[in-house]
Amino acid sequence: MNSNNVEDTGYTQAMGHLLVLYTQVDQFIMEACAERIASAPGQSARLGLAKQVGDECRHVGIQSRWMEEFGVDPGPVISQRVLEQLHSHFRGLDWVDFLTDLYLVVEALGSQAVEQVVPLADPGTRESLRVPLQDELDHVAFGLSELHKALADMDPQLRKTRLEKIPVRIQGFVNFLQRLDVPVVDWFEQVGASSQQLCAVLSQRKDELLSELAA
Ligand SMILES: [Fe+2]
Ligand SMILES: [Fe+2]
């Protein structure tokens, strides 16, 4: 599938759902980061979260403008109930778990999945993803750096225990996301992505993140 598929209603609908999903996730991240600013440990964490709130706000604006032009049904694909569930999940996490779930899973694996769609997307959608995906790299770098700092501040035994728990935690949160009632894999396939390839890319990205953390 390539950029000529805007005439294909299956493509347009599925891409529309993915765009709504991405925008809802950005909005969610914006709110979750804003809530964490006051309790974040240290000035660099607070400044990084505040910058990210601004970035995600810009992404929501870019995506919303593009969705209107593209003629996407703006109806939410994540229900209010699920969003509230996700907010309460994040509110209950300590700083290390918050960083793990938000930056390793939602930001790093999420934007890796979006990257897979870019070559399959029509030119307008591809352009709408350019700035947001560039910023997501900064967000992942911020999350990894804060996670490194938080782990480095722990005594070695605790650090070891927390580090060992991270892969399980990532898998647990991925499973939680998969149980939400959002047929995201179907949409990926409908825009021409292979779910098998997507899984392989995400698994490789997860391994890279884990080795970066352990370094
Ligand atoms: Fe974003
Ligand atoms: Fe982000």
pTM across the whole model:
0.93
* DSSP assignments along 170-189, one per residue: HHHHHHHHHHSS--HHHHHH
d(CA 194, CA 185) in angstroms, rounded, equals 9
d(CA 161, CA 93) in angstroms, rounded, equals 17
Q: How far is the CA of 158 from the centre of ligand 1 (A)?
A: 32
CA dist 172 → 156, 165, 168, 193 (Å): 24, 10, 6, 24
Nearest bound ligand to the CA of residue 142 = 2
Q: How far is the CA of 52 from the centre of ligand 1 (A)?
A: 8
Nearest bound ligand to the CA of residue 137 = 2
What is the pLDDT tens value at each position of the chain, 215 positions in all?
A: 445 466 788 899 999 999 999 999 999 999 999 999 999 999 999 999 999 999 999 999 999 999 999 999 989 999 999 999 999 999 999 999 999 999 999 999 999 999 999 999 999 999 999 999 999 999 999 999 999 999 999 999 999 999 999 999 999 988 888 888 899 999 999 999 999 999 999 999 999 999 998 87
Q: How far is the CA of 147 from the centre of ligand 2 (A)?
A: 16
CA 178 remoteness from chain centre: 14
Q: How far is the CA of 160 from the centre of ligand 1 (A)?
A: 31
Q: Which residue has the tokens 């998969």?
A: 178
Q: How far is the CA of 98 from the centre of ligand 1 (A)?
A: 17
CA 132 remoteness from chain centre: 11
Q: How far is the CA of 30 from the centre of ligand 1 (A)?
A: 8
* DSSP assignments along 117-186, one per residue: HGGGS-HHHHHHHHHHHHHHHHHHHHHHHHHHHHHHTS-HHHHHHHHHHHHHHHHHHHHHHHHSS--HHH
Cβ neighbours for 12, distance < 8 A, ≥ 6 positions apart: 5, 6, 70, 71
Nearest bound ligand to the CA of residue 106 = 2
Q: How far is the CA of 26 from the centre of ligand 1 (A)?
A: 5
